[in-house]
Amino acid sequence: MSELLEVDNLGKRFGGFVALDGISLSVPAGERLGLIGPNGSGKSTLVNCICGTLRNEQGSVRFEGRPVDGVPAHQRTHLGLARSFQLPRPFVSLSLVDNIRIPLLYTVSARGTHHTADYIEDHCHGLLREVGLEAKARRLPRDLTQVEMRKLELARAMAAEPKLLIADEAMAGLTHSEIEDILALLVRLNEQGVTVILIEHIMSAVMSFSRRLVVLVSGRKIADGRPEDVMRDPEVERAYLGQ
Amino acid sequence: MRTIPFFLISLAIAGLVFIAAFALDNDYYFFAGYVVLQYIVLSTAWNILGGYCGYVNFGTAAFFALGAYSTVTIYNLIGNNELPHVIPIPVLMLVGGVVSGIVGFGMGYLTLRLRGAFFSIATLALAVVLETLVVNWDFVGGSRGAFIIRPENMPVLGSYVRYLFLMMALLTVCSLTIARLIERSRLGYGFATIRDDELAAEASGVPTLRLKLIATTLSGALMGMAGAPYPYYIGYLQPDSTFALDYAVNAIAMPLIGGTTSWVGPLIGAVLLDSLQQIITVTISSAVNLLIVGCILVAFVIIAPNGILGLVHKYLQHRGDDFVGRRKVDPDAPGAATDVGAAPEAPS
């Protein structure tokens, strides 16, 4: 498997606070990677640096072998990097179906595939159906619950037809069966060839989904490997359970 | 409705308005109507950046004055010869539009990293800087102001103000068509995402930077086009009144009163508010104008924050919900859903 994403010695500071300290990570195409760590360990910062929302001061990010440092976020999305936000950020003045339409209009068409308006409409409804929001397609995001907004986030990220999907805590607050649904959805995407990075606090979800697990603590990567091995790692136990 | 039929119908309406004013045979109607039309263009232009993208521009007067002073510059360049009016108004509008468009682009480029109040302050600063430049530029009259001698009459139409009215009506139709076209296009969706959440827009692949530049350029250009015929209308152009706060305040108040999410909003707002101002000017006093605008604006911000369009939507939705309520119980109705804060504020 070729490496899809390569993060090399990535560093990010906020003033005197070191959020990321020399993170190196490579993700081969087709991987199902779980990224865990306590609150404030730098998971979202890492995602933001990978996706171009934040600029990394040190190190480099390569996507499909091509350095993307300094490339604006929207171009990274065009290249095939999509993410959902930890705190849902819907387009509040647009209906759900229009929320999904944006990546289709701006990302999928930027890759040179031009779809008809009818196809886009159908596709948007299809994606909403996959996350169980089709009944509310014409509603505004303010009519949604937090849980539904997370599903909308995920659907919007999927609409960009990414090669790498980063789901940043898409499952917080969901019921057990909803988590199962989302996991099944992510697995299905993965089987279609999409590489998935899952950031999650719900360990059962991470363990059942991930083929590989990476642990961040205080901006450093402390473990990387098969989930079972990682969970047995004394350093990980210490970080999670204390001494 | 498609764009071309819309353009033709608006053109027909503008024509009817012109004929109606013509039939009244009183130049005052053209005189007052010109200002109303000018404000339709200004508020529509403001709304492209302020309403669609959510960037509040306090520099309307700067762009308007750029258009006006482009005309003065051309007028002075041609010199005080016997044919100062050889350049047709549409050409002056184009020149004014290009100049303001370029400045709009520059402003956009310089203020790209600013959001919210900081962007607004920067636009206000732009107006101050430009006014200072004009005041100190003798060629366009400096602080003394500039006189423009306009032709007495135009063939067929009669007085020159009728010609100006007609040109402004054409510009109004064009700017409304452009605004409506944007609203229904991919660009309009992109603008809406900028207004709602720029980070999420970028993550969805929207090139926010480029779109903002398109908006500032287009908005500035239309404002400049509205300003270009102004020296011919007023006859004596003076920096104080050309850069007056009135333009900025009105261009913001009108879309807010009408509603900012659609091209109809600025149109309704400008027609209502400026007609009112024109009536007050002749019946009470021109000095009360801004006071009235201020009071109406405060009232609207409190009663109808989404403008007249917002009120209409609310009313229609209310009726719609009643209808649904009578027919069947819909568990997914908005009332049934828990209303969680829609605006996400913290960065992830």
- Tens-digit pLDDT profile for residues B318-331: 776 655 444 443 44
Closest Cα in chain B, distance from residue A142 (Å): 5
pLDDT at B301 over 90: no
pLDDT of residue B86: 63
C-alpha A198/C-alpha A84 separation (Å) is 10
Helix residue ranges, H only, B111-159: 116-135
Token pair in block for residue B346: 């913290």
Q: Which two tokens stand for residue B333?
A: 């109705």
Mean of the per-residue pLDDT values of chain A: 90
Residues B249 and B246: their CA atoms lie apart, in Å, by: 5
Q: What is the pLDDT of residues B66-119, one digit of tens each?
A: 999 999 998 888 865 555 456 788 999 999 999 999 999 999 998 877 888 899
Is the Cβ pair A88, B332 closer than 8 Å?
A: no
Residues of A in contact with B186 (CB under 8 A): 105-106, 109
The whole-angstrom separation of Cα B294 and Cα B215 is 27
- The partner residue sitting opposite B192, judged by closest CB among A93, A136, A149, is A93
Question: Could you give the CA distance from residue B274 to residue B285 in angstroms, rounded to a whole number?
Answer: 14
3-state secondary structure of B34: helix
Would the ipTM clear 0.95, i.e. be above it? Answer: no
Q: Does B213 touch chain A (CB under 8 A)?
A: no
- Domains of chain A and CATH, by start: 3-89+162-241 (3.40.50.300)
Predicted confidence at residue B218, as pLDDT, reads 96
In chain A, whose CA is at the least distance from the CA of B260? A93
Q: Which residues of A touch B337 (CB under 8 A)?
A: 143-145
Higher pLDDT, B305 or A77: A77
Put simply, whether B85 touches A (Cβ < 8 Å) is no
B positions 122-161 inside 8 Å of A (CB): none
| pLDDT tens figures, A86-121 | 889 999 999 999 999 999 999 988 888 888 889 999
Residue of A nearest to B207 (CA): A74
Q: How far is CA B334 from CA A129, B152, B321, in A?
A: 19, 61, 9
Q: Is the pLDDT of residue A128 over 90?
A: yes
The listed range with the strongest mean pLDDT (A32-36, A175-179, B154-158) is A32-36
Cα–Cα distance between B52 and B201 in angstroms, integer? 14
Mean pLDDT of B229-247: 90
| Residue B132: CB atoms within 10 Å | 12
Separation CA B275–CA B98 (nearest Å): 29
Give the pLDDT of residue B330: 42
Residue of chain B whose Cα is closest to the Cα of A135: B332
Share of chain B above pLDDT 70, in %: 89
pLDDT at B341: 36
pLDDT beyond 80 at B290: no
Q: Does B197 touch chain A (CB under 8 A)?
A: yes
**What is the structure's pLDDT at A147?**
84
* A63 Cα to chain B: minimum distance (Å): 16
For A139, nearest residue in chain B (alpha carbons): B334
Task: Tell me the whole-structure pTM to 2 decimals.
Answer: 0.87
Mean pLDDT computed over B23-50: 92
Structure token digits, residue A46 = 């890492």
A20 strand-pairing partners: A12
Domains of chain B with bracketed CATH? 3-245 (1.10.3470)
Q: Residue B347: what pLDDT?
A: 40
How high is the mean pLDDT of chain B?
A: 85
Note whether B189 contacts A85, CB cutoff 8 Å.
no
